[in-house]
């Protein structure tokens, strides 16, 4: 069936298949680019969280003179002697407050710090975060753990214990009294420097794949695509089809005994159609000589 189609139709079929494959390759490439972009964005957020927690941990705690309306939790409080109070926040509380504030802004990213040995029930890991914690503890070379869930991209990276963390997560006997008073002496102690204390969990809205592709569909790219199609079509029509049709017509004329037509020839050309034309011309000349010879024999 396909063998009966014209070369022009066959070319259009092959060209269409090639375009489909190119589009599929583009979609796969865009998908990889999208994942890379989301991962880089999540890493930037996680690195900022690590820097913020390190700052708080190196200072011990941070003190505020008031509590925000959405976050009343604190580690301890101290009176200034005039009836006013200052409230301390350790890295965990400060990070959770920062996360709460961030989630109510226009930023794309939501983040939090969680652990399988959590002190606050609000920090309990979900199924994805529990899986990430297991992955990090089973392989200390795992740099990150990510996944797409519904309309979101989820990313986690391990949070390692540093020397400043041991004050509240090392030996309970060395912990500040306010930490023991708030959390007791059983939760999240006994860590060593380099241990995985928990994870930084970042959640970003997924980038719509077709939205990315749509950004490519501008007048410039569409114009280039149409130009490429036009150039290919004209090349096929003028350089290939027209010459093949002329070659077929000459061969048919030879079959009818018409030896007057001669195709352009260039014996040094590497063009395959030109080489076939040369072969047909040689055949035409041979047949012409043979026919003249036969006519002479008949006259005798």
* Overall pTM > 0.75: no
Shared domain check, 181 and 55: yes
Report angle CA 61, 65, 66 to the nearest 5 degrees. Answer: 105
**pLDDT tens-digit profile of 250-280?**
777 777 777 676 666 666 667 777 777 777 7
Shared domain check, 94 and 173: yes
The domain boundary, picked from 152, 184, 208, lies at 208
Do the domain assignments include residue 169?
Answer: yes
> What is the pLDDT at residue 275?
72
What CATH number has the domain bearing residue 265? 1.10.8.500
Shared domain check, 121 and 223: no
Task: Identify whether the C-beta of residue 197 lies closer than 8 Å to the C-beta of residue 159.
Answer: yes
Do the domain assignments include residue 68?
Answer: yes
- CA 249, 251, 257, 258 dihedral sign is positive
Residue 12, strand partner residues = none
The domain boundary, picked from 151, 180, 208, lies at 208
Distance CA(47)–CA(31), nearest Å, equals 24
Q: State the residue for tokens 């006519």.
A: 295
The structure tokens listed for 207 are 């980038």
The domain boundary, picked from 208, 235, 267, lies at 208
Domain count, the chain: 2
Cα-based distances in Å from 256 to 173, 249, 266, 280, 294: 110, 11, 25, 14, 16
Contacts of 109 (CB under 8 A, 6+ apart): 41, 42, 45, 102, 202, 203, 204
Contacts of 165 (CB under 8 A, 6+ apart): 57, 91, 191, 197
**pLDDT tens-digit profile of 181-205?**
888 888 888 899 988 889 999 999 8
Which structural domain, as residue segments, surrounds residue 38?
A: 10-208
Q: In what order do the strands lie in the sheet with 62-64?
A: 62-64, 85-89, 76-79
**Are β-strands 196-205 and 152-160 bridged in parallel, bridged antiparallel, or unpaired?**
antiparallel
């Amino acid at each position: 069936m396909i063998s009966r189609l014209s070369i022009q139709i066959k070319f259009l079929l092959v060209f269409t298949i090639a375009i489909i494959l190119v589009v599929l390759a583009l979609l796969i490439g865009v998908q990889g680019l999208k994942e890379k972009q989301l991962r880089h964005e999540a890493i930037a957020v996680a690195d900022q969280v690590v820097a913020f927690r390190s700052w708080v941990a190196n200072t011990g705690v941070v003190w505020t003179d008031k509590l925000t309306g959405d976050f009343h939790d604190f580690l301890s409080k101290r009176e200034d002697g005039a009836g006013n109070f200052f409230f301390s926040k350790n890295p965990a509380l400060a990070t959770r407050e920062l996360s709460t504030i961030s989630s109510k802004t226009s930023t794309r990213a939501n983040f939090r710090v969680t652990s399988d040995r959590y002190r606050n029930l609000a920090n309990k890991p979900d199924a994805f975060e529990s899986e990430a914690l297991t992955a990090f503890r089973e392989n200390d070379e795992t740099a990150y753990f990510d996944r797409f869930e519904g309309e979101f991209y989820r990313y986690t990276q391990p949070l390692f214990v540093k020397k400043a963390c041991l004050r509240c997560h090392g030996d309970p006997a060395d912990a500040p009294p306010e930490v023991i008073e708030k959390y007791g002496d059983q939760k999240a102690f006994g860590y060593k420097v380099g241990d995985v204390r928990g994870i930084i969990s970042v959640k970003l809205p997924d980038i719509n794949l077709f939205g990315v592709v749509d950004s490519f569909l501008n007048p410039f790219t569409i114009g280039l695509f149409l130009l490429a199609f036009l150039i290919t079509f004209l090349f096929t029509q003028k350089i290939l089809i027209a010459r093949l049709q002329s070659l077929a017509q000459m061969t048919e004329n030879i079959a009818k005994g018409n030896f007057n037509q001669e195709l352009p020839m260039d014996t040094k050309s590497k063009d395959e159609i030109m080489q076939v034309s040369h072969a047909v011309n040689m055949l035409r000349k041979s047949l012409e000589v043979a026919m003249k010879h036969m006519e002479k024999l008949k006259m005798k």
